[in-house]
């Protein structure tokens, strides 16, 4: 009877050792999956940030072009009608002077 019990006890120990090894491997696999997932997430964040930066840069460039076109239009209007532009500037200066004089 002792030999049967010893044999069963030995088998249980071997199974527990195998189970312990399996659990350790599962833990390593989960850890690797978590690291890979975190790495993938950081790549996605980096890609999204780069895309946002590019969109912002493009929007700033388009805005700059619109400002330049507006300024060019303003300058050409002054060149086309210098007397009207001068009268408007004098009128605005007079009104602004009166407002600031108070």
For residue range 10-39, what is the model confidence (pLDDT) as tens digits? Answer: 888 888 888 888 888 888 888 888 888 888
Q: Which domain holds residue 65?
A: 2-101
Chain centroid to Cα 9, Å, comes to: 59
Number of domains in the chain: 1
Q: Encode pLDDT of 37-55 as tens digits.
A: 888 878 888 888 888 889 8
This model's pTM is above 0.75: no
Q: How many angstroms separate the CA atoms of 91 and 98, rounded?
A: 11
What share of the chain in percent tops pLDDT 90? 15
Residue 24 tokens read as 């350790």
User: What is residue 1's DSSP assignment?
Assistant: -
- φ/ψ of 81, rounded to 5, equals -130, 70
> C-alpha dihedral over 12, 16, 19, 24, to 10 degrees?
-170
Residue 60 tokens read as 């700033």
């Amino acid at each position: 009877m002792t030999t049967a019990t010893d044999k069963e006890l030995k088998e249980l120990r071997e199974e527990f050792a195998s189970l312990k090894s399996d659990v350790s491997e599962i833990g390593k696999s989960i850890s690797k999956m978590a690291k890979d997932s975190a790495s993938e997430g950081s790549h996605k964040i980096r890609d999204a940030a780069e895309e946002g930066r590019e969109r912002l840069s493009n929007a700033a460039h388009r805005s700059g072009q619109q400002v330049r076109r507006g300024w060019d239009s303003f300058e050409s209007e002054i060149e086309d009608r210098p007397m009207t532009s001068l009268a408007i500037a004098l009128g605005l200066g007079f009104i602004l002077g009166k407002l600031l004089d108070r």
